[in-house]
Each structure stands twice: as C-alpha cells, then as structure tokens.
Amino acid sequence: MDHFAKPNDELAIAQRQGQLHRNFQGYTTQPDSDLIGFGMTSIGMLNDVYTQNQKRLRDYYRAIDYQTLPIERGVTLDADDIVRRSIIMELMCQFQVDRDALVKKYGLSFKHSLEAHFSQEYLDLRNLESDGLLTLNPNRITITPIGRLLVRNIASVFDRYLRAQTYNGFSKAV
C-alpha cells in the first residue's frame, strides 16, 4: 500500500491475507461499510451515493432547523463508476485486478478482456508496464513490488473524472 505499517499492524496483516479494503476515508479492515457524515462539510457514502454536507454554518443550521438533512451536494454512481471504483480499490488494496472476479462480482460480460473494455486506460498502463511498475495480461493487472510505491498513480488511470479534469484544484500524488 502507499502507507507505511509495521508487519504486525492489522492493516498490514489484512493486506497479506487479501482482506484489506479502502474507502474515501482511507484503508480499513471493514468491507463495504456505509459511512454517514455528521457536521459541516462532512462526506458520507451509502452504497452508490456520495454526499457532502453544507459548508457554511448558517446553511447547515438552517437545514437542521427545518429538520432536513444538511446536504449541499451529492452524486449517484452509475454502473461504470462502480466497476471503476472496484478496480481502483483492488489495485490499491490487493495490488491486482482479476477479470474473472469482476465478471463474477458484477455480472459483467467483457467481450474479450479487461484490455478491450478499458482500451484507453490500457494505453496508459502500457507505459507504466514499460517502467516496470506493473504487468498486464488480457485478464489480469498485477502491480510489481516497486510499483506498490506508486499504487495511487497507477490506480488513478481508471478514474474517469480525474482524466476529464481540466482544473487542478486538488492535491495530487507525485
């Protein structure tokens, strides 16, 4: 993972056992947990929906006074978002993605391979492979030991929103 942990840390143990998970808060041993945000600007995640609470105190209190949820904005993931999230999480937690596991989990029907389905992403992955950061075959992406240090960068290849982003107003991994 892109964090340091002692070998006896529960996260390191979970990673070795293939049981490490991740959500927008960070790494965890808990699979697919819903997260409810409390307070101003907090973020919540319920299955395929992300929400963010009001940023301004008066708007937050107004919503509470009217007995409504103080949500300022939210997004519902579509089927492609959910598959991409799964790929990103598998890469970041298990350092590999297996096509057959994706097909089984989501009932997908990739016509030939991951490469055919995510052709643009594979163009980017080929460059990372030539740098020795991962290996590719039609049904599997595997991050190499040296690639683990840059796992966030590798996984971001599948973030279609990051790809479309023209304004860089957020922090960025090296």
Instruction: Using the predicted structure, report yes or no on whether residue 2 has a pLDDT greater than 80.
Output: no
Task: Kindly state whether residues 63 and 96 are assigned to the same domain.
Answer: no
Task: Kindly state whether residues 59 and 129 are assigned to the same domain.
Answer: no
User: What mean pLDDT is predicted for residues 78-94?
Assistant: 93
Average pLDDT value for the chain:
87
DSSP helix/strand/coil, 146: coil
Give dist(CA 136, CA 157) in Å, integer: 14
Task: Kindly state whether residues 90 and 62 are assigned to the same domain.
Answer: no
Task: Kindly state whether residues 61 and 105 are assigned to the same domain.
Answer: no
Helix axes 99-106, 79-94, angle to 10 degrees: 140
**The whole model's pTM is what?**
0.83
Domain boundary among the residues 76, 98, 130 is at: 76
Residue span of the structural domain in which 160 resides: 79-164
Burial of 134 (0-12, 13-18, 19+ CB in 10 A): buried
Cβ neighbours around 159 below 10 Å, total: 16
Model pLDDT for residues 43-73, shown as the tens digit of each residue: 999 989 999 999 999 999 999 999 999 999 9
Per-residue pLDDT at 125? 94
In a domain, 174, yes or no: no
